[in-house]
A and B are shown apart, each in its own frame.
Chain A
Amino acid sequence: MATIISNSPEETLALGESWAEEAQPGWVIGLEGDLGAGKTQLVKGIARGLGITEPVTSPTFTLVSEYECGKSQLPLHHLDFYRLENDEQILTAGLEPYFSPEGITVIEWVNRWTGPLPTYYRHVTITQTGETERRIEYGA
């Protein structure tokens, strides 16, 4: 388990950007953290690191945003379980295939899912420790 303190949204973005460098096809990243913790900010960083130039917007309403390959040749699937209550709803919404992506999947509010997680998985917990300071803990 690694712990990083981010002092600003820019630092959170840079962290995501650095993760993109080690990204391999099939990687799933699950994010946990309250409203406003900076989950989407981290995803923006990952997208930037993957060379995706489209703006990354919140998928809360659409549940899934798919971004074409950037310079890394890896497409990014950005999911948000905020509106979903449980495993059954996630399965019925047809989101299971995103657990074994061709590219990379990042899931906000991943804690709504209690079923099995892929082997190539990183769990991230973002905690608000100050107005702009965040503790970002991640495993694997």
Chain B
Amino acid sequence: MRLLAIETSCDETSAAVIVNGCAVSTEISSQIKIHAEYGGVVPELATREHLRNLSPIVRKALQQAQIESADLDAIAATRGPGLPPALMVGWKAAQSMAYALDVPLMGVNHVQAHLYSPWFTGKPPVADWESFEPNLSLIVSGGHTLLVKVDAPLEHQILGSTQDDAAGECFDKIAKLLGLAYPGGPEVDRLACTGNPAAFTFARPMLNQPNDDFSFSGLKTSVRYFLKKHPELVADNTRLPDLCASAQAAIVDVLVKKTMRAAKRERVQCLTLSGGVACNSELRKQLQSACDKNDFTLRLALPDLCTDNAAMIGLLAETQISGGREFASLEMDFKPRWILGD
């Protein structure tokens, strides 16, 4: 099967060509540089950039794959969740292409693509369902924090999620409180490397509650209050690594402990980690060491697949098509608040 996938749910315009389970070409236009000066994702820019980028990116992906659009068997695109005006660009383009080429369209859930991205391995990425094991999956990004149990490919259920802010949002907002540049998460990670995670103690929200939910809003507030009480720390750049390491430790501690607890309870011995925050080095390290201690397998999504990309959208779409999932009718709208999808 030859399939073109499009992703425009937030920052990145991306297109990928999938041929028989392999993402033979992936193109991404990173918009981080444009947004850096604004301190966040600015949808006006995002939409404008998606519109400008999409055609050349799709063309480039097809060229790289040495495939003509007339050779495509299907189109796939992110249908949700995401920024409404950004989603609209990719979804409408995909609908138009499917109509013009007279091929079916698959609407993919962006978070579900992250969920399965740890099973896409190699360069170029290939869907590796042969090594699949039932697992517990932690998806952490700027917009999402979810614990999901996966019994079989495409059979999953949400165990818990954030009740307020996502883990990535917490990283970004704490970074802003510390006066760091956007995107704050990677900067906190970088500075934390030379800091002492035990220098300051921040609360571990919901750690001791007997559920699989998360809450990061209170942590942000306690960091803010702490900084207000200790203005001398903010003024002193040399304490920044300690502050970053301590705040990061609180986030990572909650994520790792709640994930391990759920895995033991659900009697799975495989964990997977995906989403933008999966690139956080401390989270990777702590989760790996917890898995080693318990003789669990840890599968990490490839770094290229942790950020938003069309390869994971296309690889999941192809799996869904082979699994007999229904195509999207061309009248269907995009779904900005589509949580995970079945």
Q: Is B74 an interface residue (CB 8 A)?
A: no
Evaluate contact between B220 and A36: CB separation under 8 angstroms.
Answer: yes
- Bound-state CA distance A44–B337 (Å) is 17
Closest Cβ of chain A: how far from B203's Cβ, in Å? Answer: 11
- Bound-state CA distance A36–B218 (Å) is 7
Closest Cβ of chain B: how far from A39's Cβ, in Å? Answer: 10
Evaluate contact between A128 and B225: CB separation under 8 angstroms.
Answer: yes
B 79-116 contacts with A by CB, 8 A: 81-85
A 51-108 contacts with B by CB, 8 A: 55-58, 60-66, 82-85, 88-89, 92-94
What residues on A are CB-neighbors of B164 within 8 Å? Answer: 40, 44, 56-58
A-side interface residues, number (CB < 8 Å): 30
Grouping DSSP codes into helix (H, G, I), strand (E, B) and loop, the A interface class, with mixed when no group exceeds half, is loop
What residues on B are CB-neighbors of A41 within 8 Å? Answer: 217
- Bound-state CA distance A41–B218 (Å) is 10
Closest residue of A by beta carbon distance from B223: A36
Evaluate contact between B143 and A83: CB separation under 8 angstroms.
Answer: no
Evaluate contact between A64 and B336: CB separation under 8 angstroms.
Answer: yes
Q: Is B42 an interface residue (CB 8 A)?
A: yes
Evaluate contact between A61 and B41: CB separation under 8 angstroms.
Answer: yes
What residues on B are CB-neighbors of A62 within 8 Å? Answer: 81-84, 143, 336-337
- Bound-state CA distance A7–B177 (Å) is 23
Evaluate contact between B224 and A36: CB separation under 8 angstroms.
Answer: yes
- Bound-state CA distance A35–B165 (Å) is 12
Q: Is B157 an interface residue (CB 8 A)?
A: no
B-side interface residues, number (CB < 8 Å): 37
Q: Is A22 an interface residue (CB 8 A)?
A: no
Q: Is B153 an interface residue (CB 8 A)?
A: no
What residues on A are CB-neighbors of B169 within 8 Å? Answer: 58, 60-61
- Bound-state CA distance A58–B142 (Å) is 11
- Bound-state CA distance A64–B335 (Å) is 12
Closest residue of A by beta carbon distance from B217: A40
- Bound-state CA distance A93–B48 (Å) is 10
- Bound-state CA distance A123–B71 (Å) is 57
Interface on B for A, CB 8 Å cutoff? 10, 38-44, 47, 81-85, 142-143, 161-166, 169, 173, 176-177, 217-218, 220-225, 228, 336-337
9 residue pairs, one from A and one from B, having the closest CB atoms: A36-B221, A83-B40, A61-B143, A92-B44, A36-B224, A93-B43, A58-B165, A89-B44, A55-B163
Interface on A for B, CB 8 Å cutoff? 9, 34-36, 38, 40-41, 44, 55-58, 60-66, 82-85, 88-89, 92-94, 128, 131
